[in-house]
Chains A and B, each alone.
Chain A
Amino acid sequence: MDSLAKITQRFIILLTISLLLLLSDNLKLLYLPKSLFLSITAPATLAVYKASQNFKDAFGFLTFFKSGYQQIEFLKQRNRELLVEAQKTRDLTRENNILKSQFAQTPAFSPRLLPAGVIGFDRYLILDKGSASRVKSGQAVLINNFLVGEINRVYLNQSSVMLITDPLSKIAVISSQNRSKGILQGTFGTGMVLNNVQTGDSLNKEETLETWGDVNFPAGLLTGKIAGITNKASELFKSAEVEPLVDFNKLTTVFILLN
């Protein structure tokens, strides 16, 4: 049998096996063997990820002077904390006004947060918690009241997170100041787009966006801030470019909302 025929034969065999594996995994038949393999390789994956984070931190001076870089990182973190404080203050003020005008009170929502370590980052963030820790598909993932994404695949001891910047991510959001509603959709890369905002609703640059509250995401989680607004007269809705408030490349620990 000549070389080309051998190559073609091997190719067909391996392609068939790959397609069978693809079908089996889609039918969730490979859950246990995959979970076992992931449990064995998790320490290696975590070690490589941590080493890469240290590598990036050590060579921060190549892009900026180390002290200046640290100062900027500190200011960014402080800014994020202040955004959370400002949002909490607005929410408390609003709630206070509502409670003053009515007698009925609803029971407080007490979130159960499971801390999870980040052990890898490709298109999805890979976490070291899985179904053994009661993680389920669709659960929200957050850090310091900022929404990171939602769980999309779950194995025994690992799970992956679809980030809010993923093209398949769509979240109902509301702007913090003007209370304008829209749908936040990820674009490929590190950005997002706010769509379906009524032309009569106002949006301001630098205004933050928070979750509106639906089945998966509770209300009030910060997602991003508006970087630019597009309002064409010929279109029914306006849109805006949104920057995320979290640097997903630097995450080491996140929290999974279990309820």
Chain B
Amino acid sequence: MFFWYFLFAITAFLQTAVMPFDLLLLLVISLSCLEKSPKILLLFFFAGLLNDLITLRVLGQSSVFYLLIGFIIMLYGQKFRSHNPLFILTVTIFSAILENWLQNAGFSPGLVIMEAIAVLPVFYLTRLLFENTQRRNSKQLKLKL
């Protein structure tokens, strides 16, 4: 889990300087589709806090947003297949539009399109990292046995 906390922290810093869109939101969506455990919600909470602190926004607003998005995706994933690229794209577009309205007091179609284009590569990269960490953890368990 430490690896994910570190990744989210680096992303939060990079976002303010390099990315015009919310990369943390894409990571939240990707990780919610892959992992359905309560530990991930804590990660989203801290990612939101860090994002608000670095961008000097009101503390808690990003956490509320990321927690809601993550929870809704996890609920959907309990019954349906959430790895479907079409589902991921749809969720990203709706989340990006909602975030634009709530946090930026406006709507930029360009930003929404950029996030929609970036979400699938981010998802597959996150999936690769996630499966690698899962594999490493399962190897450690085998050694202990």
Contacts and interface: CB of A to CB of B under 8 A. Distances in A.
B16 interface: yes
A188 B45 contact: no
24 contacts: A3-B36, A3-B37, A7-B38, A7-B41, A7-B74, A9-B38, A10-B38, A10-B42, A14-B41, A14-B44, A14-B63, A23-B60, A45-B16, A45-B54, A48-B13, A48-B16, A49-B16, A122-B55, A122-B57, A124-B56, A155-B56, A167-B105, A167-B106, A188-B100
Interface in A158-192: 158-160, 166-168, 187-189
Interface of A: 3-4, 6-11, 14-15, 17-26, 30, 34, 37-38, 41, 44-45, 48-49, 51-52, 55, 120-124, 126, 153, 155, 158-160, 166-168, 187-189
Q: Is the interface of B mostly helix, strand, loop or mixed?
A: helix
Interface in B1-20: 13-18
A15 B107 CA distance: 26
A87 B44 CA distance: 51
Interface centre among A8, A19, A52, A188 (most CB of B within 10 A): A188
B84 interface: no
B54 to A, nearest CB: 6
B104 A123 contact: yes
Contact of A52 (B17, B41, B59, B104): B17
B108 A188 contact: yes
A17 B45 contact: yes
A155 B54 CA distance: 12
A153 B110 contact: no
Nearest to B16: A120
Interface string B26-47: 0000000000111001101100
Contacts of B130: none
Contacts of A21: 49, 59-60, 63
B53 interface: yes
What are the 9 A-B residue pairs with the smallest beta carbon separation, nearest first? Answer: A188-B106, A22-B60, A21-B60, A52-B17, A10-B38, A18-B63, A25-B59, A122-B55, A160-B56
Nearest to B101: A188
Contact of B58 (A20, A22, A45, A126): A22
B108 A26 contact: no
B82 to A, nearest CB: 14
A166 B104 CA distance: 8
Contact of B53 (A37, A121, A168, A188): A37
Contacts of A10: 38, 41-42
Interface centre among A4, A21, A153, A158 (most CB of B within 10 A): A21
A199 to B, nearest CB: 28
B137 interface: no
Contact of A19 (B54, B56, B60, B75): B60
B106 A18 contact: no
Contacts of B78: 3-4
Nearest to A6: B38
A51 B17 CA distance: 8
Given A25-B58, A37-B53, A188-B104, A19 B36 contact: no
Contacts of A4: 75, 78
A8 B41 CA distance: 10
